[in-house]
Amino acid sequence: MSEERTFIAIKPDGVQRGLISNILGRFENRGYKLVGIKLVQPTESLLKTHYSDLTEKPFFPKLLSYMLSGPVLATVWEGKDVVKQGRAILGATNPLNSAPGTIRGDFAIDMGRNVCHGSDSVPSADKEISLWFKKEELVDYQSHSFNWIYE
């Protein structure tokens, strides 16, 4: 029931603005379990693979430059329906379309500085997690709160 995982990255603007604890807290407060976390300076190769579906878009060079501009906090979260709910917690990709109370609705204005990335499907999550994390960097454990979150 709670084995689904998603990849959430706090982008360079979120890291530089000191939003890490606010963003992690949204997922923890919801009841999701953190199973992987690391601060990384992504390489161009990693980003081109991660954003392979966007490489032909006219905005890709700006996206690549932005994502190379500073560290990224890569995280993996586990829980029931975490991919879909993670996207809801983040809000719409364009922050101006994000509701207040979402991460982007509370912390972002421009789409080119939208603070976070979240997997958009379970297959994408699996691909992104394996791209950013080695298997041994992910932790399997039973949260002491499990029975207080799930029936």
Fold held by 5-140: Alpha-Beta Plaits (3.30.70)
**pLDDT (tens digit, 0 to 9) for every residue of the chain, 151 residues total?**
568 999 999 999 999 999 999 999 999 999 999 999 999 999 999 999 999 999 999 999 999 999 999 999 999 999 999 999 999 999 999 999 999 999 999 999 999 999 999 999 999 999 999 999 999 999 999 999 999 999 9
pTM score: 0.95
Return the active site residues.
Answer: 117
Per-residue tokens: 114: 């939208």
Binding site listing for ATP? 11, 59, 87, 93, 104, 114
* Per-domain boundaries in the chain: 5-140
